[in-house]
Structures are given as C-alpha cells and as structure tokens.
Amino acid sequence: MPDKLLIEAIREGLFQEMAADERVIVLGEDVGKRGGVFRVTDGLLDRFGEARVIDTPLAESSIVGVAIGAAINGMLPVAEIQFLDFIHPAMDQIMNEAAKLRYRSNGDFECPIVIRAPYGGGVHGALYHSQSIEALFTHIPGLKVVAPIDPYDAKGMLRSAIHDPDPVLFLEHKRAYRALRSEVPDAPYEVPLGKARTLREGNDLTIVAWGWYLQEALAAADEFMAEQQATIEVIDPRSLRPLDSDAILASVMKTGKLLIVHEANKFGGLGGEISAIVAEDAFAYLDGPIMRIAGPEVPAMPYSPPLEQAFLHDKHDIRAAIERLAAY
C-alpha cells in the first residue's frame, strides 16, 4: 500500500465517494475554485463541476442548513466549515435540527450529512483558528463526532461517515494534514465509527489521547518504555461520540492506571467524561488517581509563539505525568 499524507487520504476519500455516488455533494466556503483553505478539496471542482462542488457565502448556518435540506431530499452532503472556530453560527442547525431530526420525526427522516472541520492549535492560528471545542458537540445525542488523525483511519472513517444515516462531525487536526502519513489502500474501504484503536499494547498504564496530542503521547510512552521496566497501552478513541468505552474500560481493568491527554481545555472537556466512566465502572481496578493533561484555563491560544508554546503540551509534559502516575 502506498504511503499518503492525512490531507491526501481525505481528498482521495472525497474523490472516490463522489465518483461512486452522484448523491454525494461538497459545499462550503472556498471549497471549489480555491480547493479549500487547506487545499483538501483541490481538484474536485474540475472533476465534478459546480452542481456538486458548491462555493457558498460566508454563512455557516446556511451551509449546514442547506446540507440538512439536501439530505432530507436524498442527497449525501459533505459540508465544510473552514475552521472549527467558525462553527458557532451553525450550532442551532447542528444541535437542534440535524441531531434531532430522526428523533422528532419518529424515524421517518434521516439526516446523512458530514460536517468537516479543521481544528486544533500549533500552527500560529491564534484565537480564532486554533480551538479544540469537540466537547461542545459530544454532549449532543443524535450527533456523531469523530477525530481520526491517522491517514488510514481518516479515509476509512470518512466513507463510513458519508454513508451513516445520522449527522457526523468529522474533525481534522490541521497540524497533522501534512505532517502525518501512513499506508492507505487505493481502493475504497470503511473503518467503523465508534471503535477505538489500540496503538501500543501494555500492562502497567493506559493512555487515552486524540488529535495531535496522540503523537506526543506515543513519543512519551515509547521513551518511557525504552528506559523503564514497564509497558504502556496507548488508545486512540478515533470516535469521540459514540465513545468506545468498552475498550477503555478493558484496558484500565488490565493496567490499573489511566492518563487522559487532550488539547481542549480541561474543565468540561471530554476527558472529564472518560474519567467519570472509569470511576463508575472500573473504580475497584484503579491503582492510582485518574490523571488528565489538557489545555490551560485561559480563553484562547495566543498568537505569540512563546505563549502559544506555553499553552500547548508536548511529550516532555506527558512523560512527567507518566512518571508521576507510574510511581503509585
């Protein structure tokens, strides 16, 4: 299988799904002629034309609203929000319309839309181009939220998301677009939503991490294991809602220790929900406190490079947390 960057895997997935099914359309700000601000949709307009690759006004509520209407009428829309930071005008459409459509219609209507959105910091994006606000959406039943960072996972989960009968928020960490690559089959395939992936097997400590921090967690775990007589299990949830709590619980019941690592602010973050699940269902197996590494309690990520770096955690911070937890 050829190696592909994350951005290449997502683009290839879009090309293949649009070629296979004329119901798949792409809409959003600058997705056509420009090919998207990150060039994810580059080439789609030339291949599929203006009727299926639609440049929209700068109006996120309308982007999602049009996608919902198209889905009700038999289309499979993939709506792009240029940055996750810009999604707030569409919150009502996502949370009160798309997520509730099946429930409020007693199953008569489905809402098979995908909302793609780049997220995360570390790219000097400052306040309005760096946010990780996935927890706002994982709170909503009826809405699926996925955040694959491995190119293989991203292509397969995109196909699954497009053909899922319910709305899916598909988060793409912008720092990873051109930094991560893996083997990706040329042919279409699916990676199921709601299933975690264990990237390292271990017996002494469990790390659950997603987004760019997954890379930092893997680096920290590998360094620790190379120097210590201990093994660490590293889990990538991939799907944040539905969350594969069974995989996390099984790992914690084996290792007895849990470290959760995510870029979003700690207070109200998804790490708190994972902590609660483990505390409720695996408390008797714990040999130490559940620990979290997360964003600091400040309103936004600064533009200044030193301040941006102070906001972000790296493998050294995670390594220090591993050592503290392993000492119990």
Counting Cα atoms < 13 Å in the Cβ hemisphere of 294 gives: 22
- Per-residue pLDDT averaged across 208-212, rounded? 97
Q: Quick check: 145 and 137 in contact, CB under 8 A?
A: yes
Last residue of a domain, one of 183, 208, 228: 183
Q: Residue 43 gets which letter from DSSP?
A: T
The answer on pLDDT for 79 being more than 90 is: yes
What residues form DSSP beta bridges with 3?
A: 183
Residues 48 and 147 in one domain: yes
Residues in the chain: 328
Cα(310)–Cα(303) distance, integer angstroms: 11
Q: Is residue 189 part of a domain?
A: no
Which structural domain range is residue 294 located in? 197-326
Residues 212 and 260 in one domain: yes
Beta strands 181-183; 3-5: pairing state: antiparallel
Q: Residue 127 gets which letter from DSSP?
A: T
Residues 109 and 224 in one domain: no
CATH, residue 112:
3.40.50.970
Taking only the tens place, the pLDDT of each residue in 271-307 is 999 999 999 999 999 999 999 999 999 999 999 999 9
Q: Is residue 192 part of a domain?
A: no
Percentage of the chain exceeding pLDDT 70: 100
Residues 61 and 143 in one domain: yes
What residues form DSSP beta bridges with 210?
A: none
Rounded to 10 deg, the angle between the 245-255 and 270-281 helix axes is 60
Cα(154)–Cα(279) distance, integer angstroms: 31
Burial of 229: CB neighbours in 10 Å, binned 0-12, 13-18, 19+: exposed
Residues 146 and 30 in one domain: yes
Cα(100)–Cα(111) distance, integer angstroms: 9
Q: Which of 300, 192, 291, 293 has its CA nearest to residue 247?
A: 192
pLDDT score recorded for residue 271:
98
Taking only the tens place, the pLDDT of each residue in 102-154 is 999 999 999 999 999 999 999 999 999 999 999 999 999 999 999 999 999 99
Q: Is residue 259 part of a domain?
A: yes
Q: Which of 147, 171, 177, 318 has its CA nearest to residue 244?
A: 147
What is the rounded (10 degree) CA torsion for 261, 5, 133, 168?
A: -110
Q: Residue 137 gets which letter from DSSP?
A: H
Q: Is residue 26 part of a domain?
A: yes
Name the token pair of 6. 């994350």
Q: Is residue 60 part of a domain?
A: yes
Residues 201 and 178 in one domain: no
Which residue shows structure tokens 């459409």? 93
Q: What is the mean pLDDT of the chain?
A: 97
Last residue of a domain, one of 116, 151, 183: 183
Beta strands 239-241; 144-146: pairing state: antiparallel
**129 an active-site residue?**
yes
Q: Is residue 191 part of a domain?
A: no
Residues 96 and 224 in one domain: no
Residues 35 and 137 in one domain: yes
The answer on pLDDT for 1 being more than 90 is: no
- CB burial readout 231-268, b (16+ within 10 A) else e: ebbbbbbbbbbebbbebbbbbbeebbbbbbbbbbbeee
Last residue of a domain, one of 132, 156, 183: 183
Residues 31 and 178 in one domain: yes
Catalytic hit among 88, 124, 129, 139: 129
CA angle 129, 131, 137 (to 5 degrees): 125
Residues 164 and 244 in one domain: no
Residues 167 and 211 in one domain: no
The answer on pLDDT for 219 being more than 90 is: yes
Q: Is residue 289 part of a domain?
A: yes
Instruction: Report the chain's C-alpha Rg in angstroms.
Output: 20
- Stated as kind and residue range, the H or E segment containing 327 is none
Residues 150 and 205 in one domain: no
Q: Which of 80, 72, 28 has its CA nearest to residue 54?
A: 28
Q: Counting runs of H as helices and runs of E as strands, what totals does the chain give?
A: 12, 14
Q: Is residue 271 part of a domain?
A: yes
Residues 6+ apart with CB under 8 A from 45: 31, 32, 33, 35, 53
Domain total of the chain: 2
pLDDT score recorded for residue 153:
98
